Structure 1
């Protein structure tokens, strides 16, 4: 055996083929980090944006460009350096380093056959000179490639191949077929989408056979589907006709009865000279009643008036009957349509399931056929490669090895499955498939463009959708995003849409017979993905914590799709919810509206419902078949009802419950209950929480207060490290709903460099909800001080202002006499503080709070006037901000004062003479009103009636040094002080009372006053208003009693 000399280090040199093989082998042992770096930009390459490996390296799709000119390349048209095998860059056809014609030697693949044939011809005595350069004509493969002019059906010179003994290569060989078919594809104008994964042309051709078979099957299935939809239309028309006949007959009978009744009445009241036939009732809308000329002439004016009155009664009753029948027709039509749609959905779903199975079986059969062909051709190609080596004809291994490798990759990609795995938990969590949706950014953008266009066949749509996809995961993602971005709920169908148009594909959506999950299953089958339909219960719209599931309520359907032989859950319908989309119904060009809608929608789908982990999915959905819960241990319907009510926001922010609460929480005998939620530590500083406490009874669902105090004041929310705590103390026995909201904020919701930039408002979304049940209450619970809504403690100031607490880091403080608290400021801030106490007017407490600033530290000093419970609100804004810049709430504290050495007597907001037993003579001004120099500006009548609004502003002219207060009561004895705000304007010369009545009723506004120069005196009652709020809808009863009885 011939050998070659080794290099100076004693190792023998390798042939190009061996070097390439070694390079490939070495790449298998490289660290994963090296394999995931782009060869061009050296940044990490994720699966969704990966191309390669090519020569053992990978590229980003955007980096897969010619090393010389930068032209974007694909796996279909790239070329590598055939001269230097160590060069791992890619090139276009023009700039690829390659041997030129004058340098072709006996190693060139294009003339191996020619050399062998030349030797044979020489032996046969044919003309030829071995010592000269071999004759190269246009049949040589290398020159064919250089000339870019091979023909799809062309063959290499028959004489050469018939006589060649070394390296039998013909047009059926993998590498030649690839070159020929590539040219054929190019000549046909066939181009794959930008960035799509490209197999060699001969593999594309084989896949094209599958696509053609799919189209044939789709056409047959469409005919079957057309027939089904024809039966749907026929049945709908038949049911509509029957309904019309039934109602028309009913109308005729009732109208006849009404007419006969009227004719009897006419006979009683008409004069005796009238006879049968003198009066006629017509059914036409324009002339319902008519008299004969003879009768009309014989009637006296009084008789004619009586008959006319009777006629008007008839017309009115006929109109009422007509309206009643129209409403009945609409209700029956709605019920009929609902029943038909349910039936049609079931039939259409069954047919799509059948078609999907047929499509999957077809794809599996075709893939097996192609696999067998590829395997045979790969074996033949490997044998030819070995034959070439043994024949000492070197230099072509690179091209041959490339083709073999690509064919083997294609073979692996065509995975077939003889038997589906049973439903069982997946081997890994969703986060192990992908950590962040951003890995799909390029794919999602590609899908958005596809969604803007229309397709006439499902085959074409799915082929285009999945063209860039390298894995099952990416295919499922492309289908999911197409459905969610398409926003099928708002598609407007023209009545002229027919089945063979692009929108005809979505006719099932138009008729209401095809749902999201059926459409998803259909699209998956065209992509060769196994998908099943799962039926079960869901905690959907209308469900409240503690409800029991019944057979006919809260039914839902979703999908499980097979991704890399693991079943994953998908809920397209909920994933496509666009709850925050403000639809613009104004007239606008269709293209412009579509553009705006797409821009809004694409970032508003819900990622949570794509491949949701079963442990999270079970919180909202429970499959009827326990196996399809995909849990290690399936749960029962009772356990499902007891699970906390949560929404996707809960999982988006990595939340979990600390004490495993149930959906229904029972309070202790003091009305107390607690909920603790942990938040992902890496985003806890950016997550904002809020809550709402409301009555669970339907008749009270709109009531947000209890005896004038907001129900939210019976909840204490605080943050501790990475968890939020809700302490509830309900005011009375009964059932309540505690709803917890959350959202993530960004820099626009924090204090920024621009001192005048306002903090932008943000939308909070429901994270979870509980039913709170208080069966026994032994103590009367008082509301918390009336501070700004939301959480207590300094965490809010850190989050929004970067205002760091130096002293008090908890939201609850217990102290005596006085306290000082300090904060470190990130910049100079202007502060306003408000001390609050139940029953005391806020402005009476202002003098007990002082502030001072030293460097970057602000100190707040509070001297408490009495023992009891106080609330301290802290507001702030940048010092440089303009005067009209609104102060933002920074934080608040709950302060319990257990001892005060020198208590100060405070004026109560409900003075003693503000009794509910006030007599009716005291409406209006008292004798002190004029003595205090007060005047009414707008409402001079003390009795006010409101129908169209629940808000008014009462204004008084007052001396600058006069202090004013009020009491606001709703009959019989509900304190609604929280619904009134006093504003002093015009240098304190005008006092405005902004009043809001939250529900109908009778209200008392009692105004009190005293001069600042009389600190020892109590406030005196100066004016009393009686306000009756009765909306136009008549929701307020007519009963009058108690204080407001006349």
Structure 2
């Protein structure tokens, strides 16, 4: 069982009295309450009615995930009621509000959804409050306490669920939120509260405070709260990357993680799970880097990855590892990172660092099919990279073109599929390169005209030979480029059937100096020997 020691709370004695008609289920005992609460060893919480726990399951992992029990489109009618309720009940008793929000909903999910939706869209910071404390029985009183930070969202959410006869636990612990920087040791400034609500006999995790922190509109004028769906019935396997209950049982995981694991683990964010990604490398948030380069690997869902975009932002910390400043290149043609997809299941992000030091590496992404207001790139994962050594002559990556590196969505939109190469980096020790694209959708591929440009890194001089063009045989486009001089190049593939060239694919071509030159010299020697023999 978990630690039962008391921890400080922002709750006052008045708040506990507010709950006298509801069921208190908290994982901590407020210092202001000395009587009336009993600790349950079986459920790892403090309560004012311990006998009622006999019919309530203790904390346990749920056999189902969120997507199996909740689909947003099926609860639009519930959300409409919460939206339409607005502030109509602000000066009425809390019980009246809850009755209105949950009336005629037969199932637990609809009830808790209505409460969550309503709480997360309330403009608590914008509301006008009386000069004196509002009536303690009203909704406005609780808003007033929230604004003054004398009550938490978790406590208010639990109160509302209690009036709806939904057992709802207030959980305390560490949170990796706005006060946390990657790799930090966790302490009291990272403390927070969230909830577990019993839905159809299974405990589900909710954070209404984080759920209410998405703003839409002009923040200085007509801004409003909108609901962040990531914190409603969140899967424990996801929430554990940012929320660590003081009492391990309320992780709802088997086995639970310990605090050292939580502190060291990779700092994964909501967008990582939204895009259905998997962590394939670097399970810890702090990465030791030798030789000035690190490569991160993430698994992708091949059904959706074609419509996903990614970026990497690298910043260097100051000498105290407190403030991080984004890295900027004087040479605008170079960048620190190289992002590619070696195959439809895999995302690779290489980062090269200019000097020894400590860096923050922020990987961001988005779903390009979502055309929503305020939807843009957001964090996937954040790492702290401790660079211990770099090469004497560090080389950086060429800046990517719009289509990015390697086979991209641009090819798919043309009805093509890459056969070779599948990688965004082409290394040749012969000076020769071959590309092949297969037609997989004849309708899309009708009338397309592929072109290419071969540019030395840092130069706008196109070294493509006129005789090197795409050929087509048996529904396969083939490009062969020969005699590429030693060096590093950007190979840009374009399509210009409409008259304007559109970038659809790019490669970083590295022609090996020693091997290419040696092959040329060997070839010259063979030719000379043949000439002498003749």
TM-score bucket (shorter structure): 0.7 to 0.9
For 2:325, the equivalent position in structure 1 comes to: 702
Secondary structure in structure 2 of the residue aligned to 1:486? coil
Matched, 1:439 2:439: no
Secondary structure in structure 2 of the residue aligned to 1:429? coil
2:417 to 800, 804, 807: 804
1:245-264 aligned at under 5 Å gives the runs none
Name which structure has the greater RCO, CA cutoff 8 Å, separation 6+.
2
As a proportion of its length, which structure holds more helix?
1
For 1:131, the equivalent position in structure 2 comes to: none
Query: How much does 1:621 deviate?
Result: 0.9
Say if 1:610 and 1:803 are closer, same or farther in 2 by CA, change over 3 A. Answer: same
Query: How much does 1:570 deviate?
Result: 0.9
Query: How much does 1:699 deviate?
Result: 8.4
- Contact conserved, 2:340 with 2:405, CA < 8 A, in 1? yes
1:966-1045 aligned at under 5 Å gives the runs none
Residues of 2 paired with 1:768 and 1:356: CA distance? Answer: 39
For 1:826, the equivalent position in structure 2 comes to: 445
Residues of 2 paired with 1:554 and 1:701: CA distance? Answer: 20
Residues of 2 paired with 1:764 and 1:351: CA distance? Answer: 43
- Contact conserved, 1:693 with 1:739, CA < 8 A, in 2? yes
1:873 to 480, 484, 492: 492
Residues of 2 paired with 1:497 and 1:830: CA distance? Answer: 74
CA offsets 1:589-610 (integer angstroms, 9 cap, x no match): xxxx5xxx67xx65xx222211
Secondary structure in structure 2 of the residue aligned to 1:781? coil
2:21 to 344, 358, 362: 358
Query: How much does 1:452 deviate?
Result: 6.0
Could you say what the CA RMSD is over the residues aligned between the two structures, in angstroms? 3.6
- Contact conserved, 1:834 with 1:842, CA < 8 A, in 2? no
Residues of 2 paired with 1:584 and 1:729: CA distance? Answer: 37
1:603-1002 aligned at under 5 Å gives the runs 605-659=227-281, 661-668=283-290, 670-697=291-318, 701-705=324-328, 708=331, 712-746=335-369, 763-788=376-401, 791-798=404-411, 801-815=414-428, 816-823=430-437, 824=439, 826-829=445-448, 833-838=452-457, 840-843=458-461, 845=463, 851-852=469-470, 860-876=479-495, 879=498, 888-898=502-512, 899=516
Residues of 2 paired with 1:834 and 1:761: CA distance? Answer: 36
Say if 1:735 and 1:514 are closer, same or farther in 2 by CA, change over 3 A. Answer: same
2:83 to 434, 445, 448: 448
Query: How much does 1:354 deviate?
Result: 4.5
1:377-392 aligned at under 5 Å gives the runs none
Say if 1:505 and 1:640 are closer, same or farther in 2 by CA, change over 3 A. Answer: closer
Residues of 2 paired with 1:675 and 1:499: CA distance? Answer: 54
- The number of residue pairs the alignment matches comes to 473
Say if 1:575 and 1:875 are closer, same or farther in 2 by CA, change over 3 A. Answer: farther
Residues of 2 paired with 1:618 and 1:811: CA distance? Answer: 34
Residues of 1 paired with 2:190 and 2:403: CA distance? Answer: 33
- Contact conserved, 2:451 with 2:470, CA < 8 A, in 1? no
2:120 to 484, 491, 501: 484
- Contact conserved, 2:152 with 2:193, CA < 8 A, in 1? no
1:108-119 aligned at under 5 Å gives the runs none
Say if 1:873 and 1:713 are closer, same or farther in 2 by CA, change over 3 A. Answer: farther
Residues of 1 paired with 2:341 and 2:210: CA distance? Answer: 31
For 1:316, the equivalent position in structure 2 comes to: none
Query: How much does 1:562 deviate?
Result: 2.1
TM-score relative to the length of structure 1: 0.41
CA offsets 1:183-234 (integer angstroms, 9 cap, x no match): xxxxxxxxxxxxxxxxxxxxxxxxxxxxxxxxxxxxxxxxxxxxxxxxxxxx
For 1:375, the equivalent position in structure 2 comes to: none
Query: How much does 1:547 deviate?
Result: 1.2
Query: How much does 1:433 deviate?
Result: 4.9
CA offsets 1:762-786 (integer angstroms, 9 cap, x no match): 7211111111222133553201234
Say if 1:453 and 1:877 are closer, same or farther in 2 by CA, change over 3 A. Answer: farther
For 1:463, the equivalent position in structure 2 comes to: 99
Query: How much does 1:710 deviate?
Result: 7.5
For structure 1, the residue ranges without an aligned partner over 5 or more in a row are 1-342, 362-415, 587-592, 750-759, 904-1046
For 1:917, the equivalent position in structure 2 comes to: none
For 1:430, the equivalent position in structure 2 comes to: 65
TM-score relative to the length of structure 2: 0.77
Query: How much does 1:496 deviate?
Result: 6.5
Say if 1:769 and 1:683 are closer, same or farther in 2 by CA, change over 3 A. Answer: same
Residues of 2 paired with 1:459 and 1:694: CA distance? Answer: 50
Say if 1:830 and 1:433 are closer, same or farther in 2 by CA, change over 3 A. Answer: closer
Residues of 1 paired with 2:374 and 2:454: CA distance? Answer: 26
Query: How much does 1:569 deviate?
Result: 1.6
Say if 1:667 and 1:445 are closer, same or farther in 2 by CA, change over 3 A. Answer: same
Residues of 1 paired with 2:233 and 2:168: CA distance? Answer: 12
Residues of 2 paired with 1:465 and 1:748: CA distance? Answer: 30
- Contact conserved, 1:785 with 1:869, CA < 8 A, in 2? no
Residues of 2 paired with 1:849 and 1:693: CA distance? Answer: 41
- Contact conserved, 1:870 with 1:895, CA < 8 A, in 2? yes
- Contact conserved, 2:266 with 2:383, CA < 8 A, in 1? yes
Residues of 1 paired with 2:340 and 2:128: CA distance? Answer: 49
For 2:176, the equivalent position in structure 1 comes to: 539
Residues of 2 paired with 1:463 and 1:635: CA distance? Answer: 38
- Contact conserved, 1:736 with 1:771, CA < 8 A, in 2? yes
- Contact conserved, 1:865 with 1:902, CA < 8 A, in 2? no
For 2:46, the equivalent position in structure 1 comes to: none
Secondary structure in structure 1 of the residue aligned to 2:189? coil
1:112-127 aligned at under 5 Å gives the runs none
Say if 1:787 and 1:631 are closer, same or farther in 2 by CA, change over 3 A. Answer: closer
Flag the structure with larger Rg.
1
- Contact conserved, 1:535 with 1:558, CA < 8 A, in 2? yes
Residues of 1 paired with 2:381 and 2:301: CA distance? Answer: 16
- Contact conserved, 1:538 with 1:556, CA < 8 A, in 2? yes
1:13-32 aligned at under 5 Å gives the runs none
Secondary structure in structure 1 of the residue aligned to 2:262? helix
Say if 1:519 and 1:708 are closer, same or farther in 2 by CA, change over 3 A. Answer: same
Query: How much does 1:461 deviate?
Result: 0.9
